[in-house]
Chains A and B, each alone.
Chain A
Amino acid sequence: MSNKDELKLKGHLDRETYSQINFSQKEKERVLVNVTSAKKRRKSKMPLVKKLALNAAAAIVLVGMGTFVYQEVQKNQEAVVDQPENSDEEALARDEAEDGPKPDIDKDVPDTTADGSSGPTDDKAWEDRTITEKFSTPNDPKNANEFIAQNNEIYQQPLPEQYADDPMHYYGIGASSLYYWLETTYKVEGTAIEKDFRNLKNLAAIVVLEEKERYAHLGLVNENPYDYKDQWKEPSDRMEQAHEYLKDLLNEINVAINEDGKGETKGYSYMLDGEKVKELQEFIGTDEEIKAMEIIED
């Protein structure tokens, strides 16, 4: 193999395209902004760590005090029990008094609050828990609302012409994107919304996995499957169905969180009390089945 560039590749590439590709000043600035803001974030995390440590210490002290108080109460009660002259009425009163503080100490606090013992909870209430540190560019959607709105918009658009021969490949790409971002970045908290997001992510996972099945028979190792696109199998029915559900659910989540519940729906969303959530759940199967499969390769 001669080292000589007999194809004059470098010259041709530069003339045609590559001389125009440059890492601009703005791009350099973006990198610098990114590294300096990351540095600031790291610094600003220190007081938070301290705060957490203080909170933990305070919690330990309070628990310690609580235990001490409880033990003292117990001791006093034992002392009272030991007194033979106590009447039944007094004993009853004592039992009632005894029953009072006990649950406060023994109860499983998270369960009680999760049950909403202080009043009826709104299972549609939700909060955005987007992990902003995961943004790859300043233009990424800022929160779950924006993320859902953007993706819904994409899914509502007509299929790009270049994918006309294989629409499911296009939607496989979309599902992969959705899965990645839902897994890593866009998080929510709330009873119904979490179920919807989980279902959305699992549907995306099914689409991605079914797409992988399209080239699994090629047995590629460390090779880009797109180089062998012409040898892929046709998409499975499950992939197509998962895509349909995904598209509908995405729209319904958008209706729920961005459109005040106004819009056309088919009944797959918990946020909108959809009538077909059971059907969707049965299609998806269990989370464990989905989790067991490797979605993200890197």
Chain B
Amino acid sequence: MKEFNASEKQGALSREETLVQLMDSYGDLVKKLAYTYVKDIDLAEDIAQDVFIKCYDHLHLFKEKSSYKTWIYRITVNRSKDVLKSNAYKRILPFKKVASHSKEKTTELTVIDNSNRNVVTNSLMTLPSKYREILFLFYYEELKLREISEVTSLKEATVKTRLSRGKQLLKKELERRRFEL
């Protein structure tokens, strides 16, 4: 992933250009992160779009205390958690599907729906979200504990504990599914 360097470019780019750069740099990861929370590709798409719209609206407020990456991840985590807790999450389930969204349900969905082959993904998805998020951020997004703490607003010690516990739970689940590491 090519990281977007704010200090180099921000002054020279318009807001729209900055947004495009951010979407190019982090779009995939934002959508993957959202998917890890909500387990629904349509909703992950909606969340990713919401995240970038929010980024655009708040670009002028971004202070380079953190990197764009952690800033965007934080927005994604918060948005995903809001969605999980509230109505939007429930909207996506069968109720939303009737809205006949013309989303790009091609390879992406086919692969995700192919549940028999996706043992590791399915195992991860069975874990409570509090462990799932940490495992994903640590192992997939390769964030440091400090960064995860910043993104999730959890104490580093909590992140560490959840990472350890999450790993145990995932191992157990993989064993239950007779998956050989």
Binding site for B on A (CB under 8 A): 1, 3, 5-10, 12-13, 16-18, 20-24, 26-28, 30-32, 34-36, 38, 136-137, 139-141, 150-151, 153-154, 157, 160, 170, 172-174, 176-177, 179-180, 223-224, 226-227, 296-298
Contact = CB atoms under 8 A, between A and B. Distances in A.
30 contacts: A1-B160, A6-B181, A7-B167, A7-B170, A7-B171, A13-B120, A13-B140, A16-B119, A17-B111, A17-B118, A20-B111, A20-B112, A22-B31, A23-B30, A23-B48, A28-B52, A31-B23, A35-B16, A139-B99, A150-B98, A157-B98, A160-B94, A173-B95, A174-B90, A177-B90, A177-B96, A223-B128, A224-B84, A297-B85, A298-B85
B176 interface: no
> By DSSP majority rule, is chain B's interface helix, strand, loop, or mixed?
helix
Contacts of B77: none
Interface residues of B, number: 66
A35 B130 contact: no
Interface of B: 16, 19-20, 23-24, 27-28, 30-32, 35, 41, 44-46, 48-50, 52-53, 56-57, 82, 84-88, 90-91, 93-96, 98-102, 104, 107-108, 111-112, 117-121, 124, 128-130, 135, 138-140, 142, 160, 163-164, 167, 170-171, 174, 181
A18 B88 CA distance: 23
B45 A27 contact: yes
Contacts of B163: 1
Contacts of A30: 49
A5 B91 CA distance: 35
B20 A180 contact: no
A180 B89 CA distance: 11
Closest 10 CB pairs of A and B: A23-B27, A180-B87, A12-B120, A173-B90, A9-B139, A227-B128, A16-B118, A176-B90, A177-B91, A20-B111
A170 B94 contact: yes
Contacts of A153: 98
Contacts of B30: 23
Contact of A297 (B46, B86, B121): B86
Contacts of A7: 120, 139, 167, 170-171, 174, 181
Given A150-B99, A226-B84, 15 more contacts: A7-B174, A8-B181, A9-B140, A10-B140, A17-B121, A22-B27, A28-B23, A139-B99, A139-B100, A154-B98, A180-B86, A180-B87, A224-B84, A227-B129, A297-B85
